[in-house]
Structure 1
Amino acid sequence: MNKAERDKKANELKKQLEAELKKDEPDAKVTMKIKGELSKLIYS
């Protein structure tokens, strides 16, 4: 995966995370899963 693809995916994940956190009852499992995927992208 090149940098542009990684940035695009990271931006999509950030949007999902923001949407989840804006909910009245954010799902901790969902937020942790998204954060895990983000960190994999950042550190790969």
Structure 2
Amino acid sequence: MGFVGDSWQFYERAKAAARESGDAAFEVHTIAEQVFVLLDVDETA
């Protein structure tokens, strides 16, 4: 909702936590969620 930098950092921390958990599904899910940040700023390339 307009806080792109904050959202991006949230997902970066979430990816690190998911990676640390050792569960690939968590990491993939977090990466997929981070894509929405890119879509929000129309950065689809």
Unaligned runs of 5+ in 2: none
Distance in 2 between the 1:29 and 1:22 partners?
13
Unaligned runs of 5+ in 1: none
Distance in 1 between the 2:19 and 2:37 partners?
15
TM-score w.r.t. the length of structure 2 is: 0.55
TM-score w.r.t. the length of structure 1 is: 0.56
Residue identity opposite 2:8 in structure 1: A
| CA RMSD, Structure 1 to Structure 2 (Å) | 2.6
Higher-helix-fraction structure: 1
Matches within 5 A, 1:1-44: 1=2, 5-27=3-25, 29-41=28-40, 43=43
Residue identity opposite 2:38 in structure 1: S
